[in-house]
Chain A
Amino acid sequence: MEKITEAQTILKDLGLPESQQNKVSALTFLALCGIAPDDNWNNAKKQSLTLSKGIMEFANNIYGQDYKQNTRESFRKSAINPFLNFQIIDLNPDNPNLSPQSSNTHYAIKELIIDTLKHYGTDNWSNALELFKKLQFKENIEETALIRQIVINNYKSVENIDIELGRFNVFIGANGSGKSNILEAIAMIGASKGNDLDLDGLMDRGVRIANPRLTLSSFLGKQTNKEINITTVFEDNGKTIPIQSSFESSNINDLYAKWIDKEIESNSPEIIRDYLIEIYSNKNNLSKDDILEELNKKIRNRGIHEDNKYTQILANFAIFNLSTQALRGLYSHSRKVPLGINGEGLDVLISNFNNFEYSKLLKCKIFFNWLDKIIFDKQDEFKLTGHKLGKSTSTLYFHDKFMQKQNNLFSAENANEGILHVIFYLALFISNKTPDLFAIDNIETALNPSLCRSLIKELVTLSKERGKQTLITTHNPAVLDGLNLHDDSQRLFEVYRTDDGMTKVRRIKFKKGAVHKQHKLSEMWMEGLLGAIPQDF
């Protein structure tokens, strides 16, 4: 039965596990696509079928099988349930309100599968599969909003800067030039928008806590301003959305004092008004007490702050600064999920990747010629067979293709640090559960210069594919060689301090006409041509 074999191949290509590539799965798939033995796959059509009278009868009548009613469970287990999980079919598309036990329960293949099947057997099949895996899960669709501009006033060494960001932004500068301060200022607005503006909220996002007197800019001969002002301007499908914060400390001399976002306070009346409108629009005849109770509920659940896609993007912002120990699962300081700011949680995140995400992750094989497979020991049983000491909580393992088969598995606890860092960064860019906007401090840690270059190139591609926006700091010139500065979405910035100690930022960009500059950015940086080096040695 050639068509059954083809269906099995297609299911495999669509990313279904081996247990869903059997004959029952194949016949169910053929039935739902309405494909008879002599049909062409591009004739696949959407039709609603019940299990017994639709799918099983199709298998028996069209493919000469003899499935009895008592094999229904086998169809459910091998095909229907996994097909639903993998977004291959819809449940009850003609009547979504049917009860789960209804005898009219029916299924239909998704339009996306029909569109994908049109390319089966053509040169475009692998592209069609790639597109399918991307669109298969709604959450795989990338975010469209980007921060275009950040204006920071009065934060640590930043008295005033105005940065126009691209999607992939790299910051270079001498030690102490203020690179991290720029990232922290964004984390502060993030904590505020996440209704989390306290010491824990700031530290969770990677902010180094300082006395408020040091958090406010303080320069010789200049009066200290008591407010930190940060404005971010988003661009989303041609729209411009500014978001502002003005921070003031509740006690400038107290390390533990709370910061207050005055912008949120000033917006409170409008937010409460919106809550009341929502309450009234849902229920008309509420007593005063009921209204107050409903209002309190909303404030408890949502806080008195603006809550929209853009504030959410800011709220999820974090500064990642990896530690090999955290990547190995030997310590876990960061509470942030799914990935901690030091590298925590990598194993759990990637073991829950969907097909699309996992296929992207496997790109890491190009960086490590010894890597055969990534394994997740979900039951954490390998430690009992001597694969790790057991001090690490990571369930991540790797197969080395150069080692003997019985002896080629090693744990994150034993793996080289480079692969852990690379997989972390790939996961951060690939996952739909990680922030859409984030920073990476010192991305070069533990990476070979040549690997830095290739990794950056890959991360630039992923940032576009996955709708991520990032701000990266580095001290390694090789990172710059992975950037293409002729692409406006990739931007390089020099961070430096003036004679008065103020942090300033400028974009490094080539003049028009310098298309064939014939020299590497890494060399230009090392030669001192880009600035971003200490001068007075």
Chain B
Amino acid sequence: MKIGVICEGHTDRAVIRNILKGLKGVDSSQIVPLRPDYSVDETDLSQMTVDNYSNWSLVKAECENRVKIDRFLSVEGHDIVIIHIDADCSDEYGVPKLVKNADYSEKMRDAIITKINEWLGNKFQDQILYAVAIEETEAWILTIFDKKNSTKSADPKAKLKRILSKMGIKYNNTHASFYEISEKFSKKKHFKKEKFRNYNKSLDDFCQEVEDKL
């Protein structure tokens, strides 16, 4: 089985890779990066900023275009595509921010999934796993280092930086680095013992979806 992954950046895929391994024993060789990918060459890349290479608009474009998803799913053993998106800029892609009450995370996630399905023309729904990070994937990683609920954290990126810096853990914005700092997700025993899912609702929802659909 191969799992295609469309996400905002390579760092998000690193975290998803560890989660899939920890929950379902999915080997890295089973994960196929669909976006971001290498469809842009170094000549064009040199003219792009990180923001326009790695953001929600590319996820949206990939969903609306659907060609790559369709091609990926045409091969035997290719039955699932994970679509990852952060909620931090949701109002930019047409999902207004909600009031942060008790069911904020669930409601934001539902609204974003509806939006993703709209981009997909309501196709492929049985074959999609929605990895909606509220507000950012960094909030999921925070559950490893900070035993407080990160569901409503306004700026998890900054918070993770602060906490890891305090702990003397160096990291940068690369796939390898995020793979390393989220490594604890790759073991089932850590999930059980450290109860990561209790500290972030959107992480828990994604994990539930992985357990149900994979």
Contact = CB atoms under 8 A, between A and B. Distances in A.
B127 to A, nearest CB: 12
Chain B's interface: helix, strand, loop or mixed, by majority? mixed
Interface residues of A, number: 24
Contacts of A498: 27-29
Contacts of A510: 74-76
Contact of B74 (A511, A535, A536): A511
Contact of B39 (A496, A497, A527): A527
B74 A531 contact: no
B5 to A, nearest CB: 10
Interface string A73-103: 0000000000000000000000000000000
A510 B76 CA distance: 5
A498 B29 CA distance: 6
Interface string A485-516: 00000000000111100001011111100100
Interface string B89-130: 000000000000000000000000000000000000000000
B14 to A, nearest CB: 9
B33 A517 contact: no
Interface string B129-147: 0000000000000000000
A535 B28 contact: yes
Given A497-B29, A529-B34, A531-B29, A509 B71 contact: no
A535 B33 contact: yes
A171 to B, nearest CB: 15
B211 interface: no
Interface string B18-46: 00010000011101111001110000000
A526 B75 CA distance: 15
Contacts of B34: 527-529
B199 interface: no
Contact of A527 (B68, B76, B77): B68
A536 B176 contact: yes
B72 interface: yes
Interface in A335-392: none
Contacts of A511: 73-76
B74 A499 contact: no
A499 B73 CA distance: 24
Given A528-B37, A529-B71, A536-B175, A499 B29 contact: yes
Nearest to A500: B27
Contacts of B71: 517, 519, 524, 527, 529
Contact of B75 (A496, A504, A508, A527): A508
Nearest to A496: B29
20 contacts: A496-B29, A497-B29, A498-B28, A499-B27, A508-B76, A509-B75, A510-B74, A511-B73, A514-B74, A519-B67, A526-B39, A527-B37, A527-B71, A528-B32, A528-B33, A528-B38, A529-B71, A530-B75, A531-B2, A531-B29
Given A508-B76, A529-B71, A536-B179, 9 more contacts: A499-B21, A504-B29, A509-B75, A517-B74, A528-B38, A529-B4, A529-B75, A531-B2, A531-B29
Nearest 6 interchain pairs by C-beta: A514-B74, A496-B29, A509-B76, A498-B27, A529-B72, A499-B28
